[in-house]
Amino acid sequence: MSARQAIQLNNVTKKFKKTTVIDEMNLQINEGEFLVLLGPSGCGKSTMLRLIAGLEKANSGEILINGQDIKQDSYFANNFAMVFQDYALYPNMTVYQNLEYALKVHKVPKRERQTRLNKVLNMLNLTAYQDRLPGQLSGGQKQRVALGRGMVKKSNIFLLDEPLSNIDVQLREKARDEIKSMHDTSHQTIVYVTHDQLEAMSLGDRIAIMNNGVIQMIDTPNNIYNNPINLFVAEFVGVPQINTLTGEIIDGQVYFAGYSLIADYSRLNKLGLISGNIYIGIRPENIHVSEQPQNAASIPVIVDKIVDYGRYQELMLIIANGQLIKATTTNNQFVIEDNVYATLVDKKILLFNQQTKQNIEYSLEN
């Protein structure tokens, strides 16, 4: 039995004058799902959220909430809570009153209101500020109030637009954990906009990667990271960024810098590649650096730079052809100008068509 769809977009297009911001978008969000919209600035994430909320009108297509078109449904807004990027707090109301307002409108009993509000005030470290007006708060405090206002409402659908972007790192992690815990308990349908990959990976049941108003890929965090549909997704997700190398197919073998990288002939035979150029993608943690070659595909390199991030070290390596590649390790033993070997884990190598930028193996695995 398939999951019930809480939100559905069918061929939705949104334009601002002559600029297409959302381009024939098709999207289904299941009831109780936590979906994260991730993408660079200006890709259409926030506009898409506002379309779902009914704050913007699409130029074409339809948006269904629980199977009903939002153009025809006058009561659907009562089932929404939204956290805006610009806070949208009532300036003449205290923190407590801002949080309480929606509950009063929906006639939530006083005792229940107090219980919800005290829990959220404590959760977001706002108890000491509950009698202050928004003008007396910092940007991060205002954002926490906006987040809390959405949390106390306990709506069926919760829309969040960059809710943690101005919050201090320590509180951001706590707030992120509380949002995740809230979803695990309430099973609300949540649509969450962010440009922060860590937030996206830690919160989302699925992640939709957007670019230029188009969803490039929608899948679980694991599949997004390990089996990206195209080069844009591969390069956008992951820190440090994936290494993108120009390789060559010779007689069905994948070569880079004169070395054959993939020993699994059955994998290569499935692709049916004979000759031509290709993009090779390999994440830095999947490059092993050693004093001696580990196999026939180990590439001689020179350590050019070392950056210590504490929990791991990033090595910048120079190949004989002058190209740079990044590798990461948790127990670096090398120094700058060391002559070492880089071995790419062949099972983790991604292959992309040089013209279309598509992952050549994606359609074979899905």
Q: DSSP letters of 31-100?
A: TT-EEEEE--TTSSHHHHHHHHHTSS--SEEEEEETTEETTT-SSGGGGEEEE-TT----TTS-HHHHHH
Question: Minimal CA–CA distance to 318: which of 339, 333, 334?
Answer: 339
How would you class 231 by CB atoms within 10 Å of its CB: exposed for 0-12, middle for 13-18, buried for 19 or more? buried
**CATH 3.30.413.10 fits domain 243-365:** no
State the Cα–Cα distance between residues 351 and 253, nearest whole angstrom: 12
State the Cα–Cα distance between residues 248 and 253, nearest whole angstrom: 8
Strand 19-30 and strand 5-16: the pairing is: antiparallel
Instruction: Output the six-digit token pair for 12.
Output: 């939705």
Q: Which residues are paired to 38 by β-bridges?
A: 194, 209
Query: 5-226 in CATH: which number?
Result: 3.40.50.300
Helix 110-123 vs helix 95-105: crossing angle, to nearest 10: 140
Residue 196 in 3-state DSSP? coil
- Give me the tens of pLDDT residue by residue for the chain, a chain 366 residues long: 457 899 999 999 999 999 999 999 999 999 999 999 999 999 999 999 999 988 899 999 999 998 888 887 655 555 788 888 788 899 999 999 999 998 998 899 999 999 999 999 998 889 999 999 999 998 888 888 988 888 898 888 999 998 888 888 888 888 888 888 888 888 889 999 999 999 999 999 999 999 999 999 999 999 999 999 999 999 999 999 999 999 998 888 899 999 999 878 788 788 777 788 999 999 999 999 999 999 999 999 999 999 999 999 999 999 988 999 999 999 899 999 999 999 999 999 999 999 999 999 987 666
> Hey, where are the domains in the chain?
5-226, 243-365
State the Cα–Cα distance between residues 86 and 150, nearest whole angstrom: 14
State the Cα–Cα distance between residues 48 and 59, nearest whole angstrom: 12
Rounded to two decimals, the pTM is 0.89
User: Matching CATH topology for 5-226 and 243-365?
Assistant: no
